[in-house]
Structure 1
Amino acid sequence: MKVKSKTLFIVSFALIIIAIFIVFSISKPQKADFITLKRQDFKYTILANCTVDYPKPLDIKSTSESLVKAIYKKEGEKVKKGEIIILLDDSEEIRRLKIASNNIISLNKKIKNIKNVELPNLYEKEKELKLDLELAKNDLSRAKDLYEAGGISKSDLEKIQKNYGIKLSQYNQLKNTLDNYESSGVLAELNIQIENAKIEYEDYKKKVEEKRIISPFNGKILNINVQKGEKTSLQKVLATVIEDTNWLLVMNVDQRELGLLMNGLKANVKFDAYPEEIFSAYVTYVCTQIDKEKGTCEVRLEIKDQKANKIKYGMSGYAEIYAKSFSNVLIIPQRFVKQSKQKNYVVLYKNNRAYITNINLTRIGENVFLTEDLKEGDILLDIDIKQSGKKVSLSKEVKN
Structure 2
Amino acid sequence: MKHFPLIALIALSLLGCSNQPSIENKKKVPLVQVQPVRRASIARTLSTTGEVVAVVTVNIVPTVEGTVVFQPWREGDRIKRNEKLVGIERAAYHAEVEAAKATLAIARAKLADLRADARPEEVAKSRAAIADLEAAARFNKSDLERTSKLVSSGSLPGEAFDKAQTVYLSSQAKLAAGREQLRLLENGPTKTAIAVQRALVDEAASRLSLTKVKLSECVIQAPFAGTITKVFVRPGDQASSKSPLLEISDPSSSVIRFHVPEAQSTSVHPGQPLKVQFDAYPGQKFSARIDRVYPELERRTRTRTVEAKLEKKEEKSSLSLVPGMFARLKLALQTVPDAIVVPSDAIVVTPKGATVVYTVRGNKAFQLKVVPGIEEDGKTQLLQGVKPGDLVVVAGNEKLKDGAPVRLPKKQGGAE
* Letter paired with 1:375: K
Over the matched positions of the two proteins, sequence identity in percent amounts to 17
Task: Give the deviation of 1:84 after TM superposition.
Answer: 0.2
CA distance in 2, matches of 1:236, 1:50: 30
Secondary structure in structure 2 of the residue aligned to 1:276: coil
* Letter paired with 1:312: V
Q: 1:273 to 1:219 in 2, by over 3 A?
A: same
- The match for 2:96 is 96
CA distance in 2, matches of 1:378, 1:288: 47
- Aligned 1:315-354 pairs, distance under 5 A: 315-321=325-331, 326-331=336-341, 346-349=355-358
Alignment check: 8 A CA contact 1:347 1:354 kept = no
Task: Give the deviation of 1:320 after TM superposition.
Answer: 2.3
- The match for 1:305 is 315
- The match for 1:198 is 206
- The match for 1:222 is 229
Q: Which moved more, 1:70-79 or 1:84-93?
A: 70-79
Q: 1:65 to 1:254 in 2, by over 3 A?
A: closer
Which residue among 269, 273, 279 is the counterpart of 2:276? 269
Task: Give the deviation of 1:314 after TM superposition.
Answer: 2.8
Which residue among 357, 369, 387 is the counterpart of 1:375? 387
Q: 1:72 to 1:337 in 2, by over 3 A?
A: farther
- The match for 1:47 is 47
Task: Give the deviation of 1:318 after TM superposition.
Answer: 1.4
Secondary structure in structure 1 of the residue aligned to 2:323: coil
* Letter paired with 1:93: Y
- Aligned 1:134-173 pairs, distance under 5 A: none
Which residue among 191, 200, 220 is the counterpart of 1:213? 220
Task: Give the deviation of 1:215 after TM superposition.
Answer: 1.2
- The match for 1:282 is 289
* Letter paired with 1:231: D
Is there any run of 5+ residues in structure 2 with no aligned partner, and where?
Answer: 1-33, 118-189, 395-399, 407-416
Q: 1:101 to 1:245 in 2, by over 3 A?
A: farther
Give the RMSD, CA atoms, in angstroms. 5.5
CA distance in 1, matches of 2:221, 2:401: 74
Task: Give the deviation of 1:61 after TM superposition.
Answer: 3.6
* Letter paired with 1:95: A
Secondary structure in structure 2 of the residue aligned to 1:264: coil
CA distance in 1, matches of 2:300, 2:77: 44
* Letter paired with 1:348: V
Secondary structure in structure 2 of the residue aligned to 1:206: helix
Deviations 1:98-127 (A, max 9, x none): 32233234335545665x569xxxxxxxxx
Alignment check: 8 A CA contact 1:82 1:216 kept = yes
Alignment check: 8 A CA contact 1:333 1:368 kept = yes
Secondary structure in structure 2 of the residue aligned to 1:81: coil
- The match for 2:246 is 239
* Letter paired with 1:232: Q
Matched, 1:357 2:369: yes
Secondary structure in structure 2 of the residue aligned to 1:263: coil
CA distance in 1, matches of 2:354, 2:111: 93
Task: Give the deviation of 1:284 after TM superposition.
Answer: 0.9
Alignment check: 8 A CA contact 2:367 2:402 kept = yes
CA distance in 2, matches of 1:309, 1:103: 60
Deviations 1:291-336 (A, max 9, x none): 6776644321113535677433233321123566544422379996
Deviations 1:363-398 (A, max 9, x none): 699x975525522346489xxxxx99799x9xxxxx
Deviations 1:215-248 (A, max 9, x none): 11110223445444x2324245433321142311
- Aligned 1:252-263 pairs, distance under 5 A: 252-254=259-261, 257=264, 261-263=268-270
- Aligned 1:375-394 pairs, distance under 5 A: 375-376=387-388, 377=390, 379=392
CA distance in 1, matches of 2:401, 2:299: 38
* Letter paired with 2:386: L
Task: Give the deviation of 1:353 after TM superposition.
Answer: 8.2
Q: 1:293 to 1:244 in 2, by over 3 A?
A: closer
Deviations 1:38-83 (A, max 9, x none): 3223455442211223336433244444333334555433212211
- The match for 1:148 is none
TM-score scaled by length of structure 1: 0.54
Alignment check: 8 A CA contact 2:107 2:197 kept = no
Alignment check: 8 A CA contact 2:260 2:303 kept = yes
Q: 1:84 to 1:333 in 2, by over 3 A?
A: farther
- The match for 2:175 is none
Matched, 1:79 2:79: yes
Alignment check: 8 A CA contact 2:94 2:215 kept = yes
Alignment check: 8 A CA contact 2:291 2:309 kept = yes
TM-score scaled by length of structure 2: 0.52
Task: Give the deviation of 1:269 after TM superposition.
Answer: 1.8
CA distance in 2, matches of 1:348, 1:111: 103
Q: Which moved more, 1:289-298 or 1:62-71?
A: 289-298
Bigger radius of gyration among the two:
1
Secondary structure in structure 1 of the residue aligned to 2:102: helix
Q: Which moved more, 1:284-293 or 1:263-272?
A: 284-293
Q: 1:296 to 1:276 in 2, by over 3 A?
A: same
Secondary structure in structure 1 of the residue aligned to 2:283: strand
Q: 1:294 to 1:312 in 2, by over 3 A?
A: same
